[in-house]
Structure 1
Amino acid sequence: MADKIRTAKEGRIPTTLEGIKQFYDDWAPTYEKDLAHEGYIAPRRAAEAMAKFLTNKDAEIMDIACGTGLVAQELTQQGFKHIDGVDISSESLKICKVSGLYRRLICDSIGTNKLDINDDTYDGLIICGALGHLSLECFPQLIRIVKPGGPIIFSVDGNSMDTFDHFKDGKFEAALQELVRNGLWIKESYELIPDWVFNRPGHQYVYKVV
């Protein structure tokens, strides 16, 4: 769907919860095909990082803003078997359900709201390419559902870094560091990934829950 790709490239995706939901509901049928054409490698790189930090293939993994399931496809290729997902787009989750790669799917927004998930549930968590749509205040809630010692892997594309206000003027790094100072997690690694999507680089971070 050329108009969706163009909108994403130009950083014009809606910013309200309802707008984001509608945008991805409409895009869901062609989302994977469209991004494959753009050389979207972020899900594979995130899954490879998870395999590096979690060698136990029976680990339980949460895929935040899972979309149509690209991350689960890559995690499965790495040998992981227990994957749950959360996304605001019900149409995207329908595609996830058909794939059979997820144990549990939750249709919800991701923010300061408490997800219907117990504390310390998951061995690891991935957010792949969705942080442009999320408030940085979501991190404490995500840390809450990951077991101590578990990795949280998240990536941000260059377009989002240049477009969204919460990435500018050092705000993003300051928010991450504040959680370090508060003793919630520690930084494990950072990687700049060339040609992440749209011929732009991506930024992949790994933090470990304390």
Structure 2
Amino acid sequence: MADNIPDKILDAKEGRFPTTLEGIKQFYDEWAPTYEKDLAHEGYTAPRRSAETMAKCLTNKDAEIMDMACGTGLVAHELTRHGFKNIDGVDISTESLKICKEGGLYRRLICDRIGTNKLDINDDSYDGLILCGALLKGHLNLGCFPELIRIVKPGGPIIFSVSSNSKDTFDKFKDGKFESDLQELVCKGLWVKEANELIPDWIFNRPGHQYVYKVV
């Protein structure tokens, strides 16, 4: 540790993530017990902002929502504050999912990787989907979006965010590639863009961008 800052926070700030799927799983399995406490000190606003945006998109509190890459349940906590109660989650970290289960906010939890693989979820299952804090170096990239679109009903919002730091430094995101890849899915008729909002304090006092797309 340095200056009493947890090692995992230091690694996350500097983008020092494992490069393999198993490495990412181990990273978050180890971090799960202190994840929420650690991030509470770092001004992680993305879960709250994602839930606020979902509440604007979906006024029906019986809506079924997928919390993709749900971690320990930060997004679900925020969604329940807005009255949502039908929330499912997917994550690769078994230890994180144990904490989600203990919290009792999810109907169904699925342990699986998130990518081009087909998840154990039927087509058009959800009224909306949130992907929060997972578009990072060594984590997810835009290859996962066709699968996410598959499980959301036509007209449903997909809300996701990415740090400005990732957009500036991560090869898959920088130099406009992120937006061009998103637009390619628009051109394929899979979704339409609704919003792109700059968030000044996304995490670590760094800005980020929140996107809203609507499934076609």
TM-score computed with the length of structure 2 as normaliser: 0.95
Alignment match, 1:126: 130
**The one of 136, 144, 162 aligned to 1:138:** 144
How many angstroms apart in 2 are the aligned matches of 1:95 and 1:157?
Answer: 25
How many angstroms apart in 1 are the aligned matches of 2:8 and 2:67?
Answer: 23
Alignment match, 1:49: 53
Deviations 1:183-202 (A, max 9, x none): 00000011001111111001
Q: Secondary structure at the match of 1:165?
A: coil
1:171 aligns with 2:171: no
**The one of 25, 31, 34 aligned to 1:30:** 34
How many angstroms apart in 1 are the aligned matches of 2:69 and 2:45?
Answer: 16
Deviations 1:131-189 (A, max 9, x none): 11112111000000000000000011123223321101221111100000000000001
Alignment match, 2:158: 152
Alignment match, 2:207: 201
**The one of 178, 195, 198 aligned to 1:192:** 198
How many angstroms apart in 1 are the aligned matches of 2:46 and 2:160?
Answer: 10
Deviations 1:15-62 (A, max 9, x none): 211111000000000000000000111000000000000000000000
Alignment match, 1:77: 81
- Determine what percentage of the aligned residue pairs are the same residue: 82
**The one of 168, 173, 176 aligned to 1:162:** 168
What letter is aligned with 2:208? G
What letter is aligned with 2:30? D
Segments of structure 2 that go 5 or more residues without pairing to the other structure are: none
Query: Could you tell me whether the CA contact under 8 Å between 2:167 and 2:178 is conserved in 1?
Result: no
Q: Secondary structure at the match of 2:153?
A: coil
| Offset of residue 127 of structure 1 | 0.3
Query: Could you tell me whether the CA contact under 8 Å between 1:126 and 1:154 is conserved in 2?
Result: yes
What letter is aligned with 2:215? V
Q: Secondary structure at the match of 2:155?
A: coil
| Offset of residue 13 of structure 1 | 1.0
**The one of 179, 187, 208 aligned to 1:181:** 187
Deviations 1:51-105 (A, max 9, x none): 0000000000000000000000000001000000000100000000000000000
Alignment match, 1:62: 66
How many angstroms apart in 1 are the aligned matches of 2:181 and 2:174?
Answer: 12
Greater helix percent: which structure? 1
Segments of structure 1 that go 5 or more residues without pairing to the other structure are: none
How many angstroms apart in 2 are the aligned matches of 1:44 and 1:138?
Answer: 23
TM-score computed with the length of structure 1 as normaliser: 0.98
Aligned residues: 210
How many angstroms apart in 2 are the aligned matches of 1:19 and 1:100?
Answer: 27
Aligned CA RMSD, in angstroms, stands at 0.9
